[in-house]
Amino acid sequence: MSFELHGAVAVVTGAGSGIGRASARAFARRGARVVVTDLDGARAQAVADELGEFGAASISAACDVTDLDDLQFVRDLALERFGRVDLVMNNVGILAVGPAEDIPLEAWQRVIDVNLLSVVRSNLVFLPLLLEQGAGHVVNTASTAGLLPYGFDRLPYTATKHAVVGLSEALALYLRPRGVGVSCLCPAGVATNIVEQMTFYGKPAPPKGPRFPVVDAESVGELVADGVSENRFLLLTAQEAADELRELGADVDMYLSRLIKDTR
C-alpha cells in the first residue's frame, strides 16, 4: 500500500511553526492541497501563503486541538473547499518541565489534553471520513521521548508521547486492513520554536546537551512526506534511537542502569 500525495488533501495541526509547517511545505511540494491549522490563526495564514510557491491551493484555519468544535470546523472547511480529506497529521505537543514532585496536577491535565486527547478528538472527527473512503493516512507526532525513558524531568510529555506511540500502533492494526495508513513520527531534537510550548516548574535541572543529533525542521518535513508516501509506520530522525530501542528491548534493567550511570 502506498499513498499518493499529489492531489491529496492534507490537514495539519500546529502547522504554523516547526515540524508542522515543514510537513505542510513538504506535502505541498509534492502537490497536496493543505489545510494549515494552528492555535495562532495568523501563523497558519502566513504558512498557507508560503505554500502558494508550490502552486497547490492551500487554506488556513485557526484551530485549538483541545476544542472538538474547532476540529469539526476544520473538517467541514476542508470538505467545503476541497471535497475530501485524505491525510491528517496530528502534530501539536506541549511540555511541562520540572521534577516529578513539582509538576502540578493541572499541568498534567493540560499536557494530556493537548498531546493525547487531541489525537482522540481528531480520530472522532476524521476517521469516519477515512474509513468511508477506505483510503487515507494518519500521522501522529510523538517523540523519541515516547519510545525511550529519557525525559525524567518532563514526565507528562514522556507519558503522553508513550501513549501516542501505543495508540498509533494499535490504530495501525485497525486501520491498515481497512485501507488507511498510519505513521508515527518520533523525532529526536529538531530546531524549532518548541521552547515556546514549555512551562517550567520547580528547580531547573542542570543543563545537558542533546541526547541525539539535532536536525532542521525542513528535513523532518521531507521524512514525513516520504514516510507517508511509502506507508511506513515509524519515522525516526535519529537512527541512534533505534539502536537504543533494541538495547531497551534486550534488557530493560541493564538499559536503565546504563542511563543512570551515563547521566551522573
* Binding-site ranges for ligand NAD (CB under 6 A): 13-14, 16-20, 38-40, 43, 63-66, 91-94, 114, 141, 143, 187, 189-190, 192-194, 196-197
- DSSP-derived letter for residue 203 is S
Q: How far apart are CA 76 and CA 64, in angstroms?
A: 15
> Alpha-carbon torsion 145, 149, 150, 152, what sign?
positive
201 is catalytic: no
How crowded is residue 196: how many other Cβ atoms within 10 Å of its Cβ?
Answer: 10
Q: Are 61 and 41 in contact (CB under 8 A)?
A: yes
Q: In angstroms, what is the minimal distance from the CB of 200 to ligand NAD?
A: 15
Q: In angstroms, what is the minimal distance from the CB of 114 to ligand NAD?
A: 5
* Three-state secondary-structure class, residue 36: strand
Tell me whether residue 62 or residue 248 sits nearer to ligand NAD (CB atom): 62
Q: Which of 150, 157, 201, 255 is catalytic?
A: 157
Q: How far apart are CA 18 and CA 107, in angstroms?
A: 23
> Alpha-carbon torsion 234, 235, 238, 239, what sign?
positive
Tell me whether residue 36 or residue 85 sits nearer to ligand NAD (CB atom): 36
Q: In angstroms, what is the minimal distance from the CB of 100 to ligand NAD?
A: 19
Q: If you write DSSP's letter for every residue of 111-166 in order, what string do you get?
A: HIIIIIHHHHHHHHHHHHHHHHHT-EEEEEE--GGGTSTT-TT-HHHHHHHHHHHH
Q: In angstroms, what is the minimal distance from the CB of 191 to ligand NAD?
A: 7
Q: In angstroms, what is the minimal distance from the CB of 13 to ligand NAD?
A: 6
Tell me whether residue 196 or residue 243 sits nearer to ligand NAD (CB atom): 196
Tell me whether residue 4 or residue 49 sits nearer to ligand NAD (CB atom): 49
Partnered with residue 186 across adjacent β-strands are 236
Tell me whether residue 134 or residue 210 sits nearer to ligand NAD (CB atom): 210
Partnered with residue 10 across adjacent β-strands are 34, 87
Which residues are catalytic, by number?
Answer: 157
